Chain A
Amino acid sequence: MSTDSFLTISDLSAGYGDARVLHGVNLSVGRGEICAILGPNGAGKTTLLRALSGAVWTRGSVRLDGAGLARRSPDAIARRGVAHVPEGRGTFMPLTVEENLRLGAFTRRGRGEVEADLDRIHGYFPVLKTRLRQVAGSLSGGEQQMLAIGRALMSRPRLLLLDEPSLGLAPLVTRELFRIVRTINEQERTTVVVVEQNAHLALDIAQQAHVLESGRIVLSGSADEIRADEQVAQSYLGYRV
């Protein structure tokens, strides 16, 4: 994985105001990989994603395909190809589904491409196509999550950050969602970092995983290695190996 590292995080600390949440995180993600971040509540998983997208203060370095991202503003990072689907989805509630999707392509030029991408998104999430004129606030939780991911894809991201995509969704919907994320990753070679409470699901689609505790990486490895780890099995998977 270190031979072709696409996203490289070195000695990254981050936090809010005086509170430091991350303490020197190191990890790297290969091009086109899915990387799962596991860990208990309050471990700093969400903060890690927010640090990557520039929403919190950071110290240390973040490199995407060799270019530095750390300490840039969120909008500048977004323009460099990082799409963050925040916890709670962050859709534009009063705007229509179509407007939400088009906002995903806000920083792009070329009308034709955007229209083609809209079709592509409808391919992944057919339900959105039937709801184009509805305001986002009227969608169900699952549909909102699809909309949020669809919006992220509209920017043709090089790196997709997903924060707890399963939160508040029914198990069936969640499984479907993860299947689609896998498809997107395979078809478009989009690199994905996913933070997830549901470790089973995350490990099913990820190639590699990291366990974060109290702001530090305590365990790294391939998805299979992590799944086989006794500690992880007990804490996050709910069974003994």
Chain B
Amino acid sequence: MAGFLQQLVEGLGAGAVYASLALALVLIYQFTGIVNFAQGEMAMFSTYIAWQFTVAGLPFWLALVLTLAVSFAGGMLIERIVIRPVEGAPELTVVIVTVGLFIFVNAAAGWIWTFLIKDFPNPFPGGAVEAGGLSVGYSTLGVLAVVAVVMGLLYLLFQHTKVGLGMRAVAANPDSARLVGIRVGWMLALGWGLAATVGAVSGILVAPLLFLEPNMMGGVLIYAFAAATLGGFDSPAGAVAGGLTVGVAETLAGAYVGFIGSDLKVGVPLAIILFVLLLRPQGLFGRAVVERV
């Protein structure tokens, strides 16, 4: 039983990371109906920026704040420059453009920082809290706390600020949002900026667990897709719940299903994506959409 709880806690820790990237995906999907295939790569790039800051001698938390600011601006710029021209284009076109962005950002990071792996400092102390036979690492607790803080801040932003209200209005009905004088284009850019920021957090959380390298986020992206699919692509709360669920499912499957083991764990998100899409395509928390001819 203790062993099971231990796995559960570790699953939650992993899940929190997926949740944060899923949150980034959902932020963009809500406003634009786009699934940003480059989200993971953007997060990876942000993580390199943070690494560069720490290498330059900045204390970790200052590097974090600077990185988030740069990521926010970068996300907005990408929306203005790359996504703007295909706004309203067929889904296929938009997906291909974000895949192009995926390849470009990945390669650009390799060009700038090479494909050699780098150590990324862990902001949390080693060691663990021991309680009732359970051992919860500080870094697991730290990751969970960070994701909770991000969630809380987003909640405050959307529910209690005017800008947040405007963004929700754009997500609900862009045409009406224009009619009440909201600059919809800027709100979309803001959405991308926010998503890039939240994504950066997930990259920075992942990097100490894996190694920092340009392909770091490829696997995480699939888990985040599974999380967002499970929670519903239009529900931020669902994305977080989905992320935690996927993390736990993956850890338990790896530990208790002998056939899966650690190397086939990546089949878990694939299975989740398939099952959810076939049984309940809108996800657990999402709204069903009727398509028009």
A–B contact with Cβ pairs below 8 Å: the answer is yes
Interface residues of A (CB under 8 A from B): 53, 55, 73-76, 78-79, 83-84, 86, 90-95, 99, 102-104, 106-107, 151, 155
Closest 4 CB pairs of A and B: A78-B181, A107-B181, A90-B176, A74-B178
Q: Are B166 and A103 in contact (CB under 8 A)?
A: yes
Chain B window 158-169, contacts with chain A (Cβ cutoff 8 Å), 1 for yes, 0 for no: 000010011011
Chain B window 88-102, contacts with chain A (Cβ cutoff 8 Å), 1 for yes, 0 for no: 000000000000000
Instruction: Given A55-B179, A75-B178, A83-B180, output 20 extra A-B contacts at Cβ < 8 Å.
Output: A55-B178, A73-B178, A74-B178, A74-B179, A75-B181, A76-B181, A78-B178, A86-B176, A86-B179, A90-B175, A90-B179, A91-B173, A92-B168, A92-B177, A99-B168, A103-B169, A103-B180, A103-B182, A106-B166, A107-B182
With A75-B183, A103-B166 in contact, do A92 and B178 touch (Cβ < 8 Å)? no
Q: Are B165 and A102 in contact (CB under 8 A)?
A: yes
Query: A101 to B178, alpha carbons, bound, how many Å?
Result: 15
Q: Could you give 30 example pairs across A and B, Cβ below 8 Å? A: A55-B178, A73-B178, A74-B178, A75-B178, A75-B181, A75-B184, A76-B181, A78-B178, A78-B179, A83-B179, A84-B179, A86-B176, A90-B176, A90-B179, A91-B173, A91-B176, A92-B168, A92-B169, A92-B172, A92-B173, A93-B172, A95-B165, A95-B169, A103-B165, A103-B166, A106-B166, A106-B169, A107-B180, A107-B181, A155-B181
Interface of B is mostly: helix
With both beta carbons as reference points, the residue of chain A lying nearest to B168 in the complex is identified as A95
Interface residues of B (CB under 8 A from A): 162, 165-166, 168-169, 172-173, 175-184
Query: A107 to B181, alpha carbons, bound, how many Å?
Result: 6
With A99-B165, A106-B162 in contact, do A93 and B173 touch (Cβ < 8 Å)? yes
Minimum Cβ distance to chain A for residue B18 (Å): 26
Q: Are A106 and B175 in contact (CB under 8 A)?
A: no
Query: A104 to B184, alpha carbons, bound, how many Å?
Result: 15
Query: A92 to B178, alpha carbons, bound, how many Å?
Result: 12
Q: Are B184 and A55 in contact (CB under 8 A)?
A: no
